[in-house]
Amino acid sequence: MIRTLRLSNFKCFEDQALTLGPISLLTGLNGMGKSSSIQALLCLQQSEGDRLSLNGELVQIGTASDALYEHAEDDEIAIALDDR
């Protein structure tokens, strides 16, 4: 089970840790990151090794510039899971 999803410089997230439980419900206003959170999980699912696959069978995000947080101080996007 995934316990935490951490997103850094990914779409609308500068640095965010989302705590997940056995059943998690994402709610909120438009543009608050619900779809981006799910896209991050799908990116990980379709990726291999250390390389993040932004475009594949599960999700198509576009270019790295499309995925990069608008006010990022560097060009590194990170998506991490804690599944202990």
Residue 42 belongs to what domain range? 4-82
Gap between the Cα atoms of 20 and 25, Å rounded? 9
Model confidence pLDDT, tens digit, residues 14-23: 999 999 999 9
Model confidence pLDDT, tens digit, residues 39-79: 999 999 999 988 889 999 999 999 999 999 999 999 999 99
Gap between the Cα atoms of 46 and 73, Å rounded? 27
Residue 50 confidence (pLDDT) = 83
- Total count of domains within the chain: 1
Beta bridge pairs of residue 31: none
Instruction: Label residue 83 by pLDDT band (50, 70, 90).
Output: confident
Helical segments of the chain, H only: 34-46, 64-67
